[in-house]
């Protein structure tokens, strides 16, 4: 593949990386918001498929790239407390969305609360399990990257 030399200096490269990063995160969270809005306002589930595909593609790419690089987060660690906290946020958000979604569709509060509670519990369990597996994979990759290379070359 033909690559052209960059016309940017190091400072410009860093600024461009920051711009691209912000653009990525706008697309990521924007896809999630679009899915949520479509889920509430649109009756056909087909309407959210394109947003879901975009969101999941971005999520899987970021997860795989970060695991491969041995990166968890800039500020958070891979502790059990962090995984519990993130899982709780995801569960409450998803459960709350499900209550709202169910109530707007059926106008039955008790059924919506039951569905929201079920979704909350399932989301918490799945998210926690996924985070623990990912944290373990990141730690393993960090150990591999930090391992000293073997100097077993024979000298003649």
Domain coverage including residue 114: 73-143
Q: Per residue in 115-137, pLDDT tens?
A: 999 999 999 999 999 999 999 99
Overall domain count for the chain: 2
Range 135-138, long-range pairs (CB < 8 A, 24+ positions): 135/72, 135/78, 135/83, 137/67, 138/66, 138/67, 138/70, 138/71, 138/72, 138/78
Residue 5 domain-assigned? no
Residue 154 domain-assigned? no
pLDDT of residue 1: 54
Residue 78 domain-assigned? yes
Residue 57 domain-assigned? yes
| The pTM of the whole model exceeds 0.85 | no
């Amino acid at each position: 593949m033909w690559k052209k030399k960059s016309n940017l200096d190091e400072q410009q490269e860093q600024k461009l990386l920051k711009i691209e990063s912000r653009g990525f995160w706008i697309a990521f969270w924007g896809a999630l918001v679009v899915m949520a809005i479509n889920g509430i306002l649109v009756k056909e589930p087909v309407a959210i498929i394109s947003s879901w595909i975009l969101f999941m593609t971005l999520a899987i790419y970021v997860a795989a790239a970060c695991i491969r690089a041995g990166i968890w987060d800039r500020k958070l660690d891979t502790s059990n407390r962090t995984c519990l906290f993130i899982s709780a946020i995801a569960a409450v958000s998803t459960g709350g969305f499900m209550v709202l979604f169910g109530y707007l569709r059926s106008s039955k509060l008790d059924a919506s609360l039951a569905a929201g509670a079920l979704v909350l519990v399932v989301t918490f369990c799945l998210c926690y399990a996924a985070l623990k597996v990912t944290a373990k994979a990141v730690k393993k990759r960090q150990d591999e990257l930090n391992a000293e290379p073997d100097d077993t070359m024979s000298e003649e």
